[in-house]
Amino acid sequence: MTHPISKPTQLSRRGLMAMGLAAGTAWTLAACGEKKPAETAAAPVAPASAPAAAAPAGRAYVVGTDAAYAPFESQGPGGDIVGFDIDVLNATAAKAGISLKFVNTPWEGIFNTLASGERDMVISAVTITPERQQTMDFSAPYFDATQLIAVKAGSKVQKFDDLKTLKVGVQNGTTGDEVVQKLQGKASPNIRRFESTPLALKELESGGVDAVVADNGVVAHYIANNPAAQFVSLQDASFAPEQYGIAFKKGNAELQGKINTGLAAIRADGTYDAIYARYFGAKK
């Protein structure tokens, strides 16, 4: 999700999220086992702009995604939206026999587009939480995740509690934001909020913050692809497992059912595992 802002914003964004593969040089999927991240995101199984399949009466379901969250969703060289989430949903839609149209949508306000009908669904590494389930519906989980701490090599930070009095970068409104609030307090001036995790990590590189807490998949991907930054990642037992789901307007059981059917089909025939391996390595 590329946002041309390098200043921290003061609250109101990605209302909680996460992923799963563990830190250091390998990732630990909370509830998913250990994996080694791919050095670079592989070419997507299907271009984001291509329809997954013909839908009845030419209906194309509009999908909101904040394309600044590699390897889950980002903009490719040609401007197409690519990534793990995109490939999974395209494959799911093909099984369900529906067409999709992906629209890059800023995280702040992305869920409002479901309520207003501007988007039929949202896939954007969205963590399923009880709070969100009060205002929207979700597909079956399609990815297990957790939080991860990024610090510079040589940092004295060894565990999450060490961040209690330090400046910590988070993506506004994410689960990373929430867990740091629980540690430091909601009004802590040391919580620095950014419109995307890559912006927070850039701030860590420049020394503006002491650490970043974010979805492990995004952190691990950034570290693997930016060796000059000399970051290391840390896990912490206090980070709860999370699961990503595809979000729908509350009560849209018909579309939710179609997507769940497609998800079950790509898991059953091995398509999901093949997509997963392209981005994160084979499951163990």
| DSSP secondary structure, 145-171, as one string | EBEEEEEETT-S--SGGGGTTS-EEEE
**Is residue 151 classed exposed, middle or buried when 0-12, 13-18 and 19+ CB atoms within 10 A define those classes?**
buried
| DSSP assignment letter at 53 | S
Predicted pLDDT of residue 283: 76
Structure tokens at 120: 């039929």
248 in Cβ contact with 133 (< 8 Å): no
Separation CA 233–CA 132 (nearest Å): 28
Interstrand relation of 191-194 and 168-171 (parallel, antiparallel or unpaired) = parallel
Q: Which residue has the tokens 């969100």?
A: 132
Separation CA 80–CA 146 (nearest Å): 28
Interstrand relation of 242-244 and 81-82 (parallel, antiparallel or unpaired) = unpaired
What digits encode the pLDDT tens for the residues 116-173?
A: 999 999 999 999 999 999 999 999 999 999 999 999 999 999 999 999 999 999 999 8
Separation CA 35–CA 24 (nearest Å): 11
Q: How many CB atoms lie within 10 A of CB 223?
A: 21
Residue 35 CA: distances (Å) to CA of 26, 68, 90, 238: 6, 23, 24, 20
Q: Which of 187, 236, 186 is nearest to 211 (CA)?
A: 236
- Of the chain, the percentage scoring pLDDT greater than 70 comes to 79
Residues in CB range of 202: below 8 A, 6 or more apart: 6
What digits encode the pLDDT tens for the residues 199-230?
A: 999 999 999 999 999 999 999 999 999 999 99
Separation CA 59–CA 46 (nearest Å): 19
Residues β-bridged to residue 243: 144
160 in Cβ contact with 183 (< 8 Å): yes
Predicted pLDDT of residue 234: 97
Q: How many CA atoms lie within 13 A of 245 on its CB side?
A: 20
| DSSP assignment letter at 229 | G
What digits encode the pLDDT tens for the residues 87-126?
A: 999 999 999 999 999 999 999 899 999 999 999 999 999 9
Residue 282's pLDDT band (cuts 50, 70, 90): confident
Confidence check: pLDDT of 74 > 90: yes
| DSSP assignment letter at 126 | B
**Is residue 38 classed exposed, middle or buried when 0-12, 13-18 and 19+ CB atoms within 10 A define those classes?**
middle
Q: Provide the CA 134 distance to its chain's centre, in angstroms.
A: 20
3-state DSSP assignment of residue 41: coil
Interstrand relation of 60-65 and 121-122 (parallel, antiparallel or unpaired) = parallel
Q: Provide the CA 237 distance to its chain's centre, in angstroms.
A: 20
